[in-house]
């Protein structure tokens, strides 16, 4: 059986107390024991030595009590040191925890604050296009993305496609626009499934960062669709050299929500323009009209000759 230091000291104190009580009793009973068990010592002799025995007993008892007090005091001091060490350990642990929490807070992204900053930047813009550009730029800055594209859904009958409406650090001429049908490529597939796609390894050649110092391919990609009433109306795609996490996902989701009204208005404008486009006249219709006009002219000429 294993005993620690505290238990051993308590056992020593217990045996010491038992020995102390036994010693006191034996000293108290010593004169009577001598008189009873020894026939050679008379009562008068025992009476004569009794004061000496009492003094001796007092000295022994005081010595034992001092020894007991020393043991108890030593035990208390040991307990106090153990408690102090435990307090120090707890304090050090709490300090480490506080430092860890502070470090986590520093590394933790404040999504609400970032979205609020993006919202202010978007609200300062007047036109729909400038709002799209401001949102994408701020979202890329917040997520440390080195490249980004914002798409909006365009509907042509039953066909849906995603058309680029804004780009950030994207190597594409201004006159060109990316466009994907739903289900086409990673962008179209994300829109079709209405699910966020996150890649830790971007396919080679999928995206390239071009600068004056050269070219490089990012390592991480996130594609975030945004649905209104169950229909995907927009999608944002960002690429980064740093890992993209759930906080970045939330930033994109909240950012896209900021331009919901603009997306709906832009969609209505596109629909109105399609409806108001003049009907194109086919070659057959033009020929038919010309023949009918000639026949009408001939009929009028005959009527004039008859008259």
Q: At the topology level of CATH, where does 111-276 sit?
A: Beta-Lactamase (3.30.450)
Q: Which residue, among 224, 173, 166, 174, has the nearest Cα to 195 in the 3D structure? A: 224
Q: Which residues of the chain have pLDDT under 50?
A: 1, 90, 95, 102-103, 106, 273-275, 277-286, 304, 306-307
d(CA 14, CA 228): 80
pLDDT at residue number 46: 60
pLDDT at residue number 37: 59
pLDDT at residue number 19: 73
d(CA 273, CA 271): 5
pLDDT at residue number 234: 96
Phi, psi of 216 (to 5 degrees): -155, 155
Query: Mean pLDDT score of the chain, rounded to an integer?
Result: 76
Per domain, the residue ranges of the chain are 5-105, 111-276
d(CA 274, CA 287): 27
Q: Would you put residue 300 in left (φ > 0), alpha (ψ -120 to 50) or beta?
A: alpha
Q: Where are the alpha helices (DSSP H) in 108-154?
A: 111-123, 128-142
d(CA 136, CA 243): 19
**Strand 231-240 relative to strand 220-228, pairing:** antiparallel
d(CA 253, CA 230): 15
d(CA 209, CA 204): 12
d(CA 68, CA 144): 72
pLDDT at residue number 136: 95
pLDDT at residue number 102: 47
CA end-to-end distance (rounded Å), the chain: 142
Please check whether residue 118 is in contact with residue 258, taking contact to mean a CB–CB distance below 8 angstroms: yes
Global pTM value: 0.55
**Residue 191 CB-half CA count within 13 A:** 26
């Amino acid at each position: 059986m294993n005993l620690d230091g505290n238990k051993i000291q308590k056992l020593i104190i217990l045996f010491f107390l038992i020995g102390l009580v036994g010693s006191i009793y034996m000293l108290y009973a010593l004169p009577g024991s001598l008189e009873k068990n020894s026939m050679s010592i008379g009562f008068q002799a025992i009476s004569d030595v009794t004061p000496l025995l009492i003094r001796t007993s007092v000295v022994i008892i005081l010595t034992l009590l001092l020894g007991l007090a020393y043991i108890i005091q030593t035990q208390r001091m040991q307990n106090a040191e153990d408690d102090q060490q435990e307090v120090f350990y707890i304090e050090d642990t709490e300090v480490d925890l506080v430092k860890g929490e502070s470090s986590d807070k520093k590394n933790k992204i404040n999504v609400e604050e970032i979205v609020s900053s993006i919202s202010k930047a978007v609200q300062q813009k007047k036109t729909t296009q400038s709002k799209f550009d401001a949102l994408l730029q701020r979202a890329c800055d917040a997520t440390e993305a080195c490249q980004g594209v914002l798409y909006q859904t365009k509907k042509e009958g039953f066909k849906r496609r995603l058309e680029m409406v804004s780009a950030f650090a994207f190597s594409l001429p201004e006159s060109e626009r990316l466009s994907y049908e739903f289900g086409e490529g990673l962008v179209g597939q994300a829109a079709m499934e209405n699910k966020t796609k996150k890649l830790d390894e971007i396919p080679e050649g999928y995206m390239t960062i071009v600068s004056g110092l050269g070219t490089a391919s990012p390592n991480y990609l996130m594609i975030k669709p945004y649905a209104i009433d169950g229909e995907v109306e927009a999608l944002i795609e960002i690429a980064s050299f740093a890992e993209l996490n759930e906080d970045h996902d939330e930033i994109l989701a909240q950012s896209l929500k900021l331009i919901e009204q603009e997306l709906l208005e832009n969609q209505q404008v596109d629909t109105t323009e399609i409806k108001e486009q003049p009907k194109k006249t086919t070659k057959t219709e033009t020929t038919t009209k010309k023949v009918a006009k000639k026949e009408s002219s001939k009929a009028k000429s005959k009527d004039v000759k008859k008259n």
